[in-house]
Amino acid sequence: MDSPTQRRTERGSLLSLIAAALVLGVLYAGSPLVTPLYPLYQQAFGLSELVVTLVYASYVIGNLGALFLFGRISDQAGRRWTSFIVLAVAIVSTLMFLFAMQPAWLFIARAASGLAIGVGAAAATAWIAELHPAHDKAAASRLAAAVNLAGLAAGVLIAGLLAQFAPWPLRTVFVVYLAALIATAVLAALSHETVEHPTHKAADLRLKPRIGVPADLRAPFVTPALTAFATFALLGFYAALLPSLLQHSMQKHSPALSGAVVAELFAVSTVTVLVTKTLAARSAMTAGLWLLPPSLGLLLWAQIAGSMTLLIIATAVGGIASALGFRGSLQEANRMAPAEKRAELLSAYLLCCYTGNSLPVVGIALLSRSVGHVWADVAFAAVSVVLALVALSVGGRRMQHAS
C-alpha cells in the first residue's frame, strides 16, 4: 500500500508534468498568434505583403539564436529555471506586440518570441520526458508532439476569434495571452526540478553550439532532413500566407476564418499523432511524403477555383501529411543518432525545420511581386513536390540496399 509520502510525491510529479506540458503548449500557442492579425497590421502600419512576410520570418532569427547559443542551457541550468526565464522573455515579447507603435517593434517582438519558443520547447520537451511515468520515452515524445500541435491550434483559433469579435483586435489578443503566460510561469515556478545540481552561474554555462551530421550518417540523414524541410515549408505557408490567400483568391477578409483554417491544420495534425502511435517512424515519414503532393495540389486547386470547400479538404490532407512527416522524420533522426552525437545531429535536424519554415515563404513573397500570387504558389508547390520525391527516392534506395 502506498504511503502518504509516496502519494504526495506522485501528485507532485503529476502536477509538475502538467506544468511542463502547459509550458510547451502555451509557448507554442504564441507562435501563430499573429497569423490572423497580419492583414490588420498591414492596414495599421501601411505594410506591404513582403514586409509582413519578413515579420513572420524574423521568428526564425530567434529560433536560430536558441539553437546556436542556448540549445543546451536547460541541461545545465535546469528545466524549471530555464522555463521560467523563457516565459519571462515571452512576456516581454507579448508586451512589445501589445504596445507596438511602429513596424520595428513587430520584428523585435517576433524574434524574441522565436528565441523564447526555441529554448523553451527544448527545455519543456526534456522536462516532459523526465517527468512522464511511462518508461517508454516514445509515449513522452507523443505527448510532447500532441501538446505542441494542440497549442498551435488553440493559439491561432483564439487569436482569430478575438481579432474578429473582441474590441481592440491588435491589443485584446495579447492581453489574453499575457495572462496565460503569467499563470504558466507561476505553475512552472512551483514545479519539481529534474536536473541534479543545476547551475545558475553564467560563468559556468557552456554555450558553444554543437551542430553537425557524422560522415557515416550523412546519406541516411538526407531523407529525414528533406522531409522536415518540406513539411515545415507547408506549415510556414499556412502560418504566414493563408490570410493573403483568403483575401486575394476568395475575397475573404475575416481574421476568425483565417485563424480557423490554420487551426484546422494543427488540430488534424494533433489527432493524427494520437491515432498513429503504432505506426513505425519510417512508415510515417514515407506516408507523409506521399501525402504532401496531393495536399499541395488541392491547395492550388482551392486557390484557383476560389473554393472554401476545397481549401478545407486540402488543409485536412496537409494536416495529416505534416503530422506524419514531422513525427516520422524526428523519430528517424532520433533513432539514427549515436548517443554521443545526438545533440549535434538533432540540432542539424532542427536547422532544417527552421529554414524550411521561413525561407520558402520569403521566396514566395518576393516571387509574387513579379509573377503574381498564383504562379508564386505554383512554384512553391513544384519545389516542395520535387523535395518530397527526392526524399522518397533516396529512402527507397537505402531500403533496397538494406534488404
In a domain, 310, yes or no: yes
How many Å apart are CA 43 and CA 388, to the nearest integer?
37
Q: Both 258 and 169 in a single domain?
A: no
CA atoms 198, 199, 204, 205: torsion sign: positive
pLDDT, residue 401, reads 53
Under DSSP, the state recorded for 193 is P
Question: What is the percent of the chain with per-residue pLDDT over 70, rounded to a whole number?
Answer: 88
In a domain, 209, yes or no: no
Q: Both 235 and 187 in a single domain?
A: no
Q: Both 312 and 376 in a single domain?
A: yes
**Cell numbers found for residue 70:** 542556448
**Cell numbers found for residue 133:** 511515468
Question: 341 near 215, Cβ under 8 Å?
Answer: no
In a domain, 198, yes or no: no
Q: Both 366 and 296 in a single domain?
A: yes
For the chain, what is the mean pLDDT?
A: 86
Neighbouring C-beta atoms of residue 127, cutoff 10 Å: 32
Task: Give the count of alpha carbons within 13 A of 295, CB side only.
Answer: 27
How many Å apart are CA 52 and CA 241, to the nearest integer?
9
b (16+ CB within 10 A) / e for 230-251: bbbbbbbbbbbbbbbbbbbbbe
Q: Both 221 and 348 in a single domain?
A: yes
Query: Does pLDDT of 372 surpass 70?
Result: yes
Q: Both 272 and 353 in a single domain?
A: yes
Query: Got the DSSP string for 177-222?
Result: HHHHHHHHHHHHHTSPP-SSS----GGG----------GGGHHHHH
Q: Both 355 and 263 in a single domain?
A: yes
Query: Got the DSSP string for 320-372?
Result: HHHHHHHHHHHHHHHHHS-GGGHHHHHHHHHHHHHHHHHHHHHHHHHHHHHH-
Q: Both 156 and 288 in a single domain?
A: no
Query: Does pLDDT of 6 surpass 50?
Result: no
In a domain, 205, yes or no: no
In a domain, 339, yes or no: yes
Stated length of the chain: 403
Mean pLDDT calculated for residue range 119-146:
77
Query: Does pLDDT of 7 surpass 50?
Result: no
Q: Both 256 and 372 in a single domain?
A: yes
Tell me which residue range forms the domain holding 247.
214-403
Mean pLDDT calculated for residue range 207-236:
84
Question: 145 near 125, Cβ under 8 Å?
Answer: no
Q: Both 158 and 283 in a single domain?
A: no
Domain boundary among 192, 225, 252: 192
How many Å apart are CA 242 and CA 255, to the nearest integer?
10
Domain boundary among 192, 225, 250: 192
Q: Both 45 and 81 in a single domain?
A: yes
In a domain, 256, yes or no: yes
Q: Both 236 and 176 in a single domain?
A: no
Mean pLDDT calculated for residue range 74-102:
88
In a domain, 140, yes or no: yes
Cα 49 to its chain centre, rounded Å, is: 22
pLDDT, residue 69, reads 77
Query: Does pLDDT of 74 surpass 80?
Result: no
Query: Does pLDDT of 190 surpass 80?
Result: yes
Judged by average pLDDT, the poorest of 52-56, 196-200, 338-342, 371-375 is 338-342
Count of domains forming the chain: 2
**Cell numbers found for residue 112:** 524574441
pLDDT, residue 11, reads 53
In a domain, 207, yes or no: no
CATH number at residue 143: 1.20.1250.20
> The whole model's pTM is what?
0.86
Report residue 71's pLDDT band, with 50, 70 and 90 as the boundaries.
Answer: low
pLDDT, residue 280, reads 87
Contacts (Cβ under 8 Å, ≥6 apart) of 120: 23, 24, 27, 82, 83, 86, 87, 90
Question: 230 near 328, Cβ under 8 Å?
Answer: no
